Amino acid sequence: MNTPIVEASEIVKNYQKETTTIPVLRSVCLRMVKGEFLAIMGASGSGKSTLLNIIGCLDRPTTGSYLLDGVDVLKSSDDQLSRMRSRYLGFVFQTFNLISNLTVFENIELPFLYHTINQKEISERVHTAIEQVGLSDRINHRPAELSGGEMQRVSIARALAIQPKLILADEPTGNLDSLNSREIMLLFKRLHNQGGTIILVTHDPQVASYADSCVTISDGQIIGESL
Ligand SMILES: Nc1ncnc2c1ncn2[C@@H]1O[C@H](COP(=O)(O)OP(=O)(O)O)[C@@H](O)[C@H]1O
Ligand SMILES: [Mg+2]
């Protein structure tokens, strides 16, 4: 289980605002193997989401090199990257990003719009994912009929249904109270124990403590690593 999934070297990300260059990531190197549960911790504005978006192929670095599961992301076209995202990556966000007029089942089914899997297989995958997060009895509910913790569990099921190689979670407990945060983190831990590979971004050391390893980012640079 020492196969690398993320191999990012000297990642630089600058934003250009008129004539000023704003450096956001300054030579970040990150390596992660399959089966790892890694936390990226840092204060607000330190560059965590920018780094996660690059790892998740939602954004490209200004310079540097990045291999995702052996694929050179910088040499891939936008079409190739969106295919990688929809097949291999499961995203979980602070704000859940569920569609309010769709049921739980329909929300979890959405990522399959870009797949060529048949409806029977999709239905089986959705049911398995909803069972994994313990919400089988809410499958026909709409998001407004769920608690915050339940909504986040649905968004985790949506990420799981495609059977991703890597789960990327950006402040997944940011909108939850402490009890629900704990439940969500125990769920991530269980998914990791079942073989899942997870990157979690958080500003909260308590949340980061559920991961196996942690890197700390400050002002766009990795300043510490702990196992
Ligand atoms: N599109 C953008 N244009 C200019 N600056 C940006 C943009 N996105 C993020 N930034 C800046 O980059 C820095 C890091 O942002 P971000 O990665 O969102 O931090 P974090 O997730 O750690 O709070 C912040 O100072 C932010 O203002
Ligand atoms: Mg952020």
Atom nearest to 203 CA in ligand 1: 22
pLDDT at 121 > cutoff 90: yes
Length, in residues, of the chain: 227
- Reported as type and span, the H/E element at residue 107 is helix 104-109
pLDDT level of residue 23 (50, 70, 90 thresholds)? very high
Which helix (H) or strand (E) element contains residue 96? none
**What average pLDDT does the segment 97-103 reach?**
98
Q: Could you say which ligand is closest to the alpha carbon of residue 220?
A: 1
Task: Kindly report the protein residue whose alpha carbon is nearest to atom 9 of ligand 1.
Answer: 50
pLDDT band per the 50, 70, 90 thresholds, residue 227: low
Domain boundaries, given as residue ranges, for the chain: 37-62+82-226
Query: Given the CA of residue 201, which atom of ligand 1 is nearest to it?
Result: 21
Of all helices (H) and strands (E), which one includes residue 215? strand 213-218
Number of other residues whose CB lies within 10 A of the CB of residue 138:
19
Atom 4, ligand 1: which residue's CA is nearest?
Answer: 15
pTM beyond cutoff 0.85: yes
Nearest-atom index, ligand 1, CA of 47: 17
The Å distance, Cα 168 to ligand 2 centre, comes to 12
Does the pLDDT at position 119 exceed 90? yes
Rg (CA), the chain: 17
Question: What percent of the chain has pLDDT above 70?
Answer: 99
Residue 23: helix, strand or coil by DSSP?
strand
Residue minimizing CA distance to atom 5 of ligand 1? 15
Question: Does position 1 have pLDDT exceeding 70, yes or no?
Answer: no
Higher pLDDT, 116 or 34: 34
What residues flank ligand 1, with Cβ below 6 Å?
15, 22, 24, 42, 44-50
Confidence band of 2 (pLDDT split at 50, 70, 90):
confident
pLDDT score at 113: 86
Q: Whose CA is nearest to atom 8 of ligand 1?
A: 50
Average pLDDT for 103-131 = 95
The whole-number pLDDT of residue 151 equals 98
User: Which residue has its alpha carbon closest to ligand 1 atom 12?
Assistant: 24
Question: Tell me: the pLDDT tens digits for 177-208?
Answer: 999 999 999 999 999 999 999 999 999 999 99
Give the pLDDT score at 98: 98
pLDDT at 90: 97
Model pLDDT, residue 169: 98
Region 69-98: mean pLDDT is 95
| CATH 3.40.630.10 describes domain 37-62+82-226 | no
Q: Which residues of 159-173 are buried (b: 16+ CB within 10 A; e: fewer)?
A: bbbbebbbbbbbbbb
Cα–Cα distances in angstroms (integers) from residue 109 to residues 82, 155, 220, in the given order: 17, 11, 36
> What's the 201 CA to ligand 2 centre distance in angstroms?
8
